[in-house]
Amino acid sequence: MGTLEVKIKTLTPLWTGGVDGTMDRIHETGILGSLRWWYEAIVRGLGGSACEGGPEGKKCELTGEKLRKFEKARREGKDWWTALDEVGICDVCKVFGTTGWKRRFRLEVADALMQSIRIDKKVALQERQYVDKNGKEKTPTWYFPNSPRSGELTVCIEDFHPAFNPQIIAGLIWFLSNWTVLGARAQLGFGIVQTTENINIKPLCEQLKNISGNNVYYHLPSLRNIFLAKIHPRNGKSFKDKDSFILKYDLRRLFANYKAIRHFIMGTIKNQKLASKVKISRPYNGEIRVWGWIPEKSDVYDKTWDREKILRAIYQHLTSHYNLVVWREMNSSRDTVSPNLSNAKIFLKSLLNCGE
């Protein structure tokens, strides 16, 4: 077994959860959750198998008859990947584990150089006050009852099997550091990080190159329905922390007259809670990240709104009010690097800088 260290520096505060909603330290489960979420989205985009919400709606288990068949395949000399294939363990659970099958790696965090950071407990947008349907004046407000952490940390990745390369997980961390966030509460702008040393991305590229299939996931996050954007302020101005929440509010207002669509895309904390499908980072190094996933099909779509119209509205708002640095979206003329690219593997290579 080998251990690989990935050194990370936070660019916006990091949140990974903890006991009673507080964060006394960096919790590995929060990091693992974001890594698995994106690995699932990538696998789905490649047509591979991902049991969480997959076509059959069943979670993987390596127990009972499946376990006996797996053990028989191993005795016959088949490698563990092939043996897992034969008993129907999905491409995600092969790496991240499931009942009866241990995760292929251990992840530990050394966070001695991390510390709690003071942030405003409340963000109120006085410049976006409005009058509600009852004639009451309202101020859009966000609350942060607990403190996140900031600083430098080391993620230690230990493989549990010589056939598994821990650089696969390091590469996944690199992907998140370049395009999205690490950890939880992305909707509050937390989790922008940078890796402080070069990471060999090739093992991840090789791993994903071997994943393929004809599975389709219309209603779940997938490489095929995500968008990834980065914006800068206009006219030589600088972003302030509040600007992330102004943008969040303004995007909600794009769907002001369509409650079902607004809640479906931007989330709601009322009645049945819905998480926002659009995430906006806090400013870092003069930049804000905007990313999310808009499913191809949904019962809330109508003649006014569908996936294309929603993405067009978001794109037009960003290009009208900010300098759009990059927009990545598969099979779209909006993509600023490879427009109208419909091949998922080629699109993924361009995101990962895999090269030839």
Give the model's pLDDT for residue 22.
67
Answer yes or no: do 198 and 232 share one domain: no
Q: How confident is the model at residue 266 (pLDDT cuts 50, 70, 90)?
A: very high
Contact (CB, 8 A) for 157 and 106? yes
- pLDDT digits 0-9 by tens, 189-242: 899 999 999 999 999 999 999 999 999 999 999 999 999 999 999 988 999 999
Rounded to 5 degrees, φ, ψ at 236 are 70, 10
1 pLDDT exceeds 80? no
Tell me the pLDDT band of 270, cut-offs 50, 70 and 90.
confident
Residue 338 lies in a domain: no
**Domain count along the chain:** 2
Highest mean pLDDT among 29-38, 112-121, 157-166, 318-327 belongs to 318-327
* 184 and 248, same domain (yes or no): no
Q: What is residue 205's predicted lDDT score, i.e. its pLDDT? A: 96
- 303 is in which domain, residue-wise? 226-329
Same domain, residue pair 169 and 313: no
Rounded mean pLDDT of 246-268?
Answer: 95
| Tokens, residue 224 | 């095929």
pLDDT band of 132, cuts 50, 70, 90? confident
Long-range contacts of 351-356 (CB under 8 A, 24+ apart): 351/175, 351/179, 351/228, 352/171, 352/175, 352/201, 352/204, 352/205, 353/201, 354/201, 354/202, 354/205
Same structural domain, 41 and 111: yes
Mean pLDDT of 153-162: 90
Q: What is the pLDDT of residue 260?
A: 95
- Indicate if 185 and 269 belong to the same structural domain: no
Question: Alpha-carbon distance 220 to 222, whole Å?
Answer: 6
Quick check: is 141 in a domain? no
Q: How far from chain centre, in Å, is Cα 152?
A: 21
Token readout for 117 is: 């950071």
